[in-house]
């Protein structure tokens, strides 16, 4: 069966996601989410002041919940259209966000670097396919002239700027393919440097074996 992604020579984010060893990938939609986002209170919740203490610098539980609510609204809007693959994609993101909210953001990836978010490129309409949609909200880019514009991540996935920025403020990866982007988090950068050094060391060892064999 040909899918949207086959027709548009894009990497299918749903297939790509399954390749990654993502602990959230296999979990099903958490019906308890409705508990956190009662329909009548969604607006007042999202406009309520942050509960973050003035001294804390990282994202707080409310940031994860608010983004889960935003994605939940996309999902609800889409319900009658029945794009099951996209609904499952959103369900997995919502489940991840609620898990992260439960762990106060300690278990997930760090936020993307502030400079990375600031310097996200603008993708002009001419570079977009005619019926291409934002991976997060599933709305056609051509029908959204009034929005803040379209951007792309280094993995080349396209998003509405207003859909991807709140995600990047909480995660330094692409929500579709999980490719990592830079972070300001010192712990994440330290681990990344260590992994790179280990890789170079392993490569140097292979070179040596080759030279003396």
Per CB under 5 A, residues contacting Zn ion are: 134, 136-137, 155, 157, 160, 163, 174, 176-177, 179
Rounded CA separation 94/115 (Å):
26
Helices marked H in 79-185: 84-102, 114-118, 161-168
Least separation in angstroms between CB 177 and Zn ion: 3
* DSSP code of residue 61: H
Residue 128 or 179 with smaller CB distance to Zn ion: 179
Report how far residue 29's alpha carbon sits from residue 27's, in angstroms, rounded to the nearest whole number.
Answer: 7
Pairing of strands 150-152, 158-160: antiparallel
1 CB neighbour count, 10 Å cutoff: 3
* Rounded least distance, CB 79 to Zn ion, Å: 17
| Nearest residue (CB) to Zn ion, 17 versus 65 | 17
How would you class 162 by CB atoms within 10 Å of its CB: exposed for 0-12, middle for 13-18, buried for 19 or more? middle
> What are the start-end ranges of the E strands in 7-157?
150-152
With respect to Zn ion, which residue has the nearer C-beta, 112 or 174?
174
Nearest approach, Cβ of 203 to Zn ion (angstroms)?
A: 26
Nearer to Zn ion, 52 or 166 (CB): 166
Task: Describe the crossing of helices 161-168 and 61-78 by its angle, rounded to 10 degrees.
Answer: 150
Q: Smaller CB distance to Zn ion: residue 21 or 57?
A: 21
d(CA 133, CA 112): 23
Least distance between Zn ion and beta carbon 136 (Å): 5
Quote the least distance from Cβ 150 to Zn ion, whole Å: 9
- Contact yes or no for 141/125 (Cβ under 8 A): yes
CB of 145 to Zn ion, least distance (A): 13
């Amino acid at each position: 069966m040909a899918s949207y992604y086959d027709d548009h020579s894009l990497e299918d984010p749903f297939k790509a996601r399954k390749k990654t060893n993502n602990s959230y990938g296999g979990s099903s939609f958490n019906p308890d989410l409705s508990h956190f986002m009662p329909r009548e209170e969604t607006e007042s919740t999202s406009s309520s002041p942050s509960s973050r203490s003035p001294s804390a610098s990282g994202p707080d539980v409310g940031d994860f919940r608010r983004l889960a609510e935003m994605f939940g609204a996309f999902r609800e809007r889409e319900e009658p259209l029945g794009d099951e693959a996209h609904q499952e994609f959103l369900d997995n993101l919502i489940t991840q966000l609620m898990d992260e909210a439960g762990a106060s953001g300690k278990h997930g990836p760090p936020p993307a670097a502030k400079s990375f978010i600031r310097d996200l490129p603008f993708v002009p309409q001419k570079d977009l396919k005619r019926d291409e949609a934002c991976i997060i909200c599933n709305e056609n880019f051509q029908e959204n002239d009034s929005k803040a514009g379209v951007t792309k991540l280094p993995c080349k996935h396209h998003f509405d700027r207003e859909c991807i920025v709140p995600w990047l403020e909480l995660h330094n990866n692409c929500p579709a393919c999980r490719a990592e982007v830079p972070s300001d988090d010192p712990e994440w950068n330290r681990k990344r440097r260590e992994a790179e050094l280990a890789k170079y060391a392993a490569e140097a060892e292979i070179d040596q074996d080759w030279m003396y064999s």
